[in-house]
Chains A and B, each alone.
Chain A
Amino acid sequence: MQYVIVGIGGQGILFSSKVLGKIALSRGESVMGSEVHGMAQRGGSVISHFKIGQYKSPLVKAGEADALLAFDQNEAVRNLHFLRNGGSLIVNVHDAAALGNEHLKAYIREHDIRVYPLEGYELLKKHMNGNFLFLNVLIVGAMCGAGVGNVSYEEVRNAVRELSPAKFADANMKVLELGYEALKGV
């Protein structure tokens, strides 16, 4: 399994690969990934690569990712070329109209990409008092709900619980379920 996770510096995208890593480790699988630290973390485009299985290089080659988790829809479009034919995109949408772009739809069709949109900001405004720092947990839940990433809800729940600082544990479990339910069976 090869994942590419993209977003904007400050959105906490590294959390997703931590969750995936924890699950892989408990299954006894090997992991390899790459993160962005430093200047790019300051509000710029960020990308994280994560591979589970027998890989050596930390980077996913364009056209080989099974799943793209996008915390920002513009970053999703910029990094869509990482997905293989038949890959899955989980995307946090803030401007649904833009995703209707004809060229974009043609690319998605041509490459048989399954798209799972999630209105993350709206959900967090409605249920979490607008605290957008929960976006990372929400997206992990949504991925699992959509049946992407080859992980069970139970595994994700356990991993998120273990990775959560005590004072956010309850809130994180609530947000995880929010994301899971939003894309469950879509």
Chain B
Amino acid sequence: MILEMEVAKTVSTRAILLGNEAIARGVVEAGCLVAAAYPGTPSSEILPAIAGYADELGAKTVVEWGVNEKVAFEMAVSAAFTGVRSCAVMKQVGLNVAADPFMSAAHFDLRSGMLLICADDPGPHSSQTEQDSRFFAMFAKIPCFDPCDAVEAKAMVFDAFDLSEKHNIITMLRPSVRVDHCRQDVELGDIIARDQGFRFEKDPLRWTCLPAGVKINHPKLNAKNDAIREEFETDYARYNYEVKASGQAKLGVITSGVQFSVVMDILKSWKRNDIDVLKIGTPYPLPVRMVTDFIDRHENVLILEETYPVMEMQLPDRTKVQGRWNKIVPGAGELLPEVVEGLLVKVLGGQETVTADANLKAALEELRITPRKPMLCPGCPHRASFFSIRQSLPAAINPSDIGCYTLGINQKGVDAVIDMGASVTISSGFFMAQKASGMDAKPIVATIGDSTFFHMGIPGLVSAVYNRHALVLAILDNGITAMTGGQANPAVGDKLRKGDKGAVVDIEGVCRGCGVSFVKTVKAYDVKAGKDVIKEAWEHAKANQTPAVVIFRHPCMLLRQKQDTIPVRVNHDACVGCKFCINFFNCPGLVFDEAKKKAVIDERFCVSCGVCRNVCPHGAIVSTEGE
């Protein structure tokens, strides 16, 4: 009977999961009870998948979007003061936002396991940096797991929680984009039951980051690092191991994360038996003895890791290793299979043969084929808003922010972007610089999305009100966090788990509460109203030396809400071929026919939103209704 029960319990199924879903499944199976995140590619799918699996497996996990990564991290880490397992999820630049609580809480003796999942984006594909979060783990002195695929990422979640609980320390799982967005067959299991309950005990020295506590905690943190490094040397052979060549090795390759997978597939395709590979799944604290021993046994050693030399810089002596210090391995960009193959050939003393084929190159040139740049979707309300803003005040400087609307660069509506929320503060900086240099004030009209406004736009706005900065902030409210795949935010109110209801936070009310004296809302598609209200807002801002807010509202096209369709065509008798619509509206559904020298509708992409009727200065774009 007992045998039967055990079989029933361990019955598992296989499913093809996205790496991020595999991680989420691991989080729920490991009994995590509090999970918080802010969406950001390549991490965005993790939290919704945690909610989905928690619903499916009947877990009690509280799953919530924080308004930013700092908020999400603080919620998660403090839950681990109380005896319940928790995790925070973010992308690499999200950890910059959460750096403050992360650095402090790393010193704390947690009560229960806390896992930080921080997704990196070598390339980058969808980020403003390609920073390496493993360095952040080293900076904070917390252990880091670097998975080579989805299966290993899921397994590491369990170990990271266990290690966290064993040493009362935050642990980091650092999947890179190729792990997050890989699709692989993965074993599904059940929730591992564990005793967890809220047991917060008052102990101010333990839970308060006063200098007196740091004097105790910092040496303790160092001791934890020493102990964990020793465990990584001996107890983690499932993640740290050597794949020996069947023949005499001519080269040793040290890898971390997905680079291991890339190298193994290249060796398989080459059918080579003279290259040893050392796989490291725990790059910080580096099991230095294991790596040094591998280096000692090889004449020729290559080290491959993304994106920074994290393992390399932990080596006591790296002079024998071909890596980033001697410029063998590129210091920027993704180590794609073609790049790695070239590196292997180079360190083996061969000639790199990877060159672009002449015929293919000529075909691409003759056919004028270039990579298609990302652009705002057909019918996107942001396109209409940017058009209104640019046409209203052509002399204005236009700071912007992080989100789909960064693509407003194609509408010539984006002049400067730094990070989440900086549209407001860049505007303030420009205002201050203009004032200091005694120049005639150029209008400043910034753009920010609804979710980004809540994330980090509010402090800048309060500061601009307080300091009396004349600027216009256009909040492009499409009722969704769009770029990362359509997550809800405080302006929407929806939550992730079935049955969870959130409250809606009103953007206009927040702006007024911050002391903004001009707050007006327009329909994004209404280009004429948009132009008028932007002019009015700037006049108010200039006259009163204060920020003004204009909210452009229309649902994101990804929500596929029903809306009026207004099919259009370009009247070629009226079109003069000036390309104004291409240069300032830039819609995938409206293209230029080089042969005819006229604009045409590309029916593959046009969604008949009708906005472009208001764009052509010659009235050449007309509705086909009644034709």
Q: Which residues on A are within 8 Å of B, measured CB to CB?
A: 8-10, 17-18, 21-22, 24-25, 30-45, 50, 55-62, 64, 74-75, 77-78, 80-81, 94, 98, 101, 103-104, 106-107, 110, 121, 130, 132
Contacts of A103 in B (CB 8 A): 359-360, 362-363, 366
**Interface core residue of A17, A43, A62 (most chain B CB under 10 Å):** A43
Give the shortest distance, in Å, between B369 (CB) and chain A (any CB).
5
Contacts of A50 in B (CB 8 A): 183
Q: B235 in the interface, Cβ–Cβ < 8 Å? A: no
Q: Mark B158-180, 1 if CB is under 8 A from A, else 0.
A: 00000000000000000000110
Cβ contact within 8 Å between A39 and B269? no
In the assembly, what is the distance between CA of A132 and CA of B589, in Å?
A: 13
In the A-B complex, the 7 residue pairs with the smallest Cβ-Cβ separation, listed nearest first, are: A38-B41, A38-B126, A44-B374, A58-B182, A56-B261, A104-B363, A57-B265
Residue of A nearest to B45 (CB): A37
Cβ contact within 8 Å between B149 and A32? yes
Q: Among A21, A30, A43, which residue has its beta carbon within 8 angstroms of that of B588?
A: A43
Contacts of A57 in B (CB 8 A): 258, 261-262, 264-266, 337
**Interface core residue of A10, A18, A121 (most chain B CB under 10 Å):** A10
In the assembly, what is the distance between CA of A87 and CA of B69, in Å?
A: 46
The binding surface of chain A is classed by DSSP as mixed
Cβ contact within 8 Å between A130 and B483? no
Cβ contact within 8 Å between A10 and B377? yes
In the assembly, what is the distance between CA of A54 and CA of B23, in Å?
A: 22
Q: B484 in the interface, Cβ–Cβ < 8 Å? A: yes
Give the shortest distance, in Å, between A122 (CB) and chain B (any CB).
11
Give the shortest distance, in Å, between B269 (CB) and chain A (any CB).
6
Residue of A nearest to B371 (CB): A45
In the assembly, what is the distance between CA of A149 and CA of B562, in Å?
A: 38
Cβ contact within 8 Å between B181 and A35? yes
In the assembly, what is the distance between CA of A33 and CA of B266, in Å?
A: 16
Contacts of B357 in A (CB 8 A): 81, 107
**Which parts of B360-395 form the interface with A (CB within 8 Å)?**
360, 362-364, 366-367, 369, 371-377
Q: Among B16, B126, B183, B372, which residue has its beta carbon within 8 angstroms of that of A39?
A: B126
In the assembly, what is the distance between CA of A44 and CA of B178, in Å?
A: 19
Q: How many residues of B contact A (CB 8 A)?
A: 59
Contacts of B483 in A (CB 8 A): 38-39, 42
In the assembly, what is the distance between CA of A130 and CA of B359, in Å?
A: 35
Contacts of A24 in B (CB 8 A): 16, 185
Give the shortest distance, in Å, between A53 (CB) and chain B (any CB).
10
Sample (14) of A-B pairs whose CB atoms are under 8 Å apart: A24-B185, A35-B18, A38-B485, A44-B374, A56-B262, A57-B262, A62-B338, A74-B369, A77-B364, A103-B362, A103-B363, A104-B359, A107-B360, A121-B604
Cβ contact within 8 Å between B16 and A31? yes
Cβ contact within 8 Å between B375 and A34? no
Cβ contact within 8 Å between B183 and A33? yes
Contacts of B354 in A (CB 8 A): 62
Give the shortest distance, in Å, between A109 (CB) and chain B (any CB).
9
In the assembly, what is the distance between CA of A78 and CA of B372, in Å?
A: 10
Cβ contact within 8 Å between B369 and A78? yes
Given known contacts A50-B183, A56-B149, A104-B363, what 9 new A-B pairs fall within 8 Å (CB)? A21-B183, A32-B149, A39-B126, A42-B376, A56-B148, A57-B258, A57-B264, A58-B149, A58-B184
Q: Among B261, B262, B269, B363, which residue has its beta carbon within 8 angstroms of that of A77?
A: B363
Q: Among A17, A59, A121, which residue has its beta carbon within 8 angstroms of that of B336?
A: A59
Residue of A nearest to B121 (CB): A38
Residue of B nearest to A7 (CB): B372
Q: B603 in the interface, Cβ–Cβ < 8 Å? A: yes
Q: B283 in the interface, Cβ–Cβ < 8 Å? A: no
Cβ contact within 8 Å between B374 and A9? yes
Cβ contact within 8 Å between B45 and A42? no
In the assembly, what is the distance between CA of A59 and CA of B263, in Å?
A: 11
Give the shortest distance, in Å, between B547 (CB) and chain A (any CB).
29
Contacts of B371 in A (CB 8 A): 44-45, 78
Cβ contact within 8 Å between B183 and A30? no
Residue of A nearest to B262 (CB): A57
Cβ contact within 8 Å between A61 and B338? yes
Q: B271 in the interface, Cβ–Cβ < 8 Å? A: no
Contacts of A59 in B (CB 8 A): 178, 262, 336-337
Contacts of B238 in A (CB 8 A): none
Q: Among A21, A38, A81, which residue has its beta carbon within 8 angstroms of that of B16?
A: A21
Q: B404 in the interface, Cβ–Cβ < 8 Å? A: yes
**Interface core residue of B42, B268, B367 (most chain A CB under 10 Å):** B367
Give the shortest distance, in Å, between B260 (CB) and chain A (any CB).
7
Residue of B nearest to A95 (CB): B367
Cβ contact within 8 Å between B374 and A107? no
In the assembly, what is the distance between CA of A107 and CA of B603, in Å?
A: 31
Contacts of A58 in B (CB 8 A): 149, 178-179, 181-184, 258, 261
Q: B242 in the interface, Cβ–Cβ < 8 Å? A: no
Given A34-B181, A37-B41, check contact A106 B359 (CB 8 Å): yes
In the assembly, what is the distance between CA of A101 and CA of B261, in Å?
A: 38
Residue of B nearest to A32 (CB): B184
Q: Mark B341-357, 1 if CB is under 8 A from A, else 0.
A: 10000000000001011
Residue of A nearest to B557 (CB): A10
In the assembly, what is the distance between CA of A113 and CA of B104, in Å?
A: 58
Cβ contact within 8 Å between B125 and A38? yes
**Interface core residue of A9, A42, A81, A130 (most chain B CB under 10 Å):** A42
**Interface core residue of B14, B16, B266 (most chain A CB under 10 Å):** B16
Contacts of A38 in B (CB 8 A): 41-42, 44, 125-126, 483-485
Contacts of B359 in A (CB 8 A): 103-104, 106-107, 110
Q: B407 in the interface, Cβ–Cβ < 8 Å? A: yes
Contacts of B362 in A (CB 8 A): 103
Q: Among B182, B364, B407, which residue has its beta carbon within 8 angstroms of that of A33?
A: B182
Q: Among B44, B269, B588, B603, which residue has its beta carbon within 8 angstroms of that of A130?
A: B603
Cβ contact within 8 Å between B185 and A39? no
Q: Among B185, B269, B605, which residue has its beta carbon within 8 angstroms of that of A61?
A: B269
Residue of B nearest to A109 (CB): B359
Q: Mark B312-348, 1 if CB is under 8 A from A, else 0.
A: 0000000000000000000000001110010000000
Contacts of B268 in A (CB 8 A): 55
Cβ contact within 8 Å between B374 and A22? no
Give the shortest distance, in Å, between A102 (CB) and chain B (any CB).
8
Give the shortest distance, in Å, between A66 (CB) and chain B (any CB).
13
Contacts of B182 in A (CB 8 A): 32-35, 58
Cβ contact within 8 Å between B126 and A34? no
Cβ contact within 8 Å between B367 and A74? yes
Residue of A nearest to B178 (CB): A58
In the assembly, what is the distance between CA of A10 and CA of B380, in Å?
A: 13
Q: Mark B585-600, 1 if CB is under 8 A from A, else 0.
A: 0001000000000000
Given A38-B126, A39-B125, check contact A32 B148 (CB 8 Å): no
